[in-house]
Amino acid sequence: MKILTQDNYYEPDEYMSSSLFKKFNKCEVDGLIPYSDEKSIPLLVGSYVDSYIEGTLDKFVSENPDIISSRGTTKGELKADYKNADVICDFIDNNKILQDFLSGEKQRIFTGEISGVPFKIKMDSYSPHIAINDLKVMWKVTDRNGNFYDFITPWGYDIQLACYQEIVYQNTGEKLPCFICAVTKEKCINSVIVKIDQVFLDRALYVVESNIQRYEDLRRGRITPIGCGVCDSCISQRNSTPIISLADLIEGVV
């Protein structure tokens, strides 16, 4: 098996990862589509903050020069679309609780197996004997009434942390508590730390164990994917236009 490093971790290899599993779990067709090299502004803002926290910001900026203005009075500064990233970093720097939760070993890599499938993880903040903490930069973490809502399960963060916990356990014998540390991109930055209770981690791991062999077979070309029919990957493969009735739309059957 390939020895994983910070430099080659994201290269295609024999390992399944939580991000690839979630991609398959959303749609099997989409799971087979390679990740795009094109990076959206929201993704770059999140990656900027991640790099700042792990101490690799200079490397990130050198690899993404387009985020820096090259002309006019703002030459050398972050472009307007990315200035909020610095504000978020300052917010984290001045938030003792977030600092404490994110003070563990950065980007620690472990490998193992889930249901016989080789699996790799890379954690935002790993504190041996204490916890596994993951940083998320979100649009919002509250509803219109200001109440925190579930952004964990829709984004599969329970699945991600369940995989982290299991692979760490395989390597260390420690089943550590898991937390999501979320910070928002709002003008008035909000934040919350969510402990993912063990019952939800166990349920999420069961989902992984129950489906990972099929997704591995898909990845190896042994079986044919079943598409969801509604994601971009599925729509892009349509060779016809559906014909439906208003009744279908009103009844919500399409």
The pLDDT value given to residue 95: 97
The pLDDT value given to residue 168: 98
For the segment 153-160, the average pLDDT, to the nearest whole number, is 97
pLDDT tier at 33 (50, 70, 90 boundaries)? Answer: very high
232 by DSSP, 3-state: which? helix
Tell me, yes or no, whether 73 lies in a domain: yes
Alpha carbon distance 121, 161 (integer Å): 10
**pLDDT tens digits, one per residue of 199-235:** 999 999 999 999 999 999 999 999 999 999 999 999 9
The pLDDT value given to residue 253: 60
Q: Looking at residue 208, which CATH number applies to its domain?
A: 3.90.320.10
The domain in which residue 61 lies consists of 37-217
The pLDDT value given to residue 231: 93
Burial of 57 (0-12, 13-18, 19+ CB in 10 A): middle
Tell me, yes or no, whether 29 lies in a domain: no
Judged against a pLDDT cut of 70, whether residue 254 lies above it is answered with no
Per-chain mean pLDDT for the chain: 94
Number of domains comprising the chain: 1
The pLDDT value given to residue 74: 84
Tell me, yes or no, whether 193 lies in a domain: yes
Tell me, yes or no, whether 141 lies in a domain: yes
Backbone angles phi, psi at 42, to 5 degrees: -60, -40
For the segment 144-152, the average pLDDT, to the nearest whole number, is 96
pTM attached to this predicted model: 0.91
The pLDDT value given to residue 150: 97
Q: Going edge to edge, which strands form the sheet with 191-195?
A: 105-114, 117-127, 131-138, 178-184, 191-195
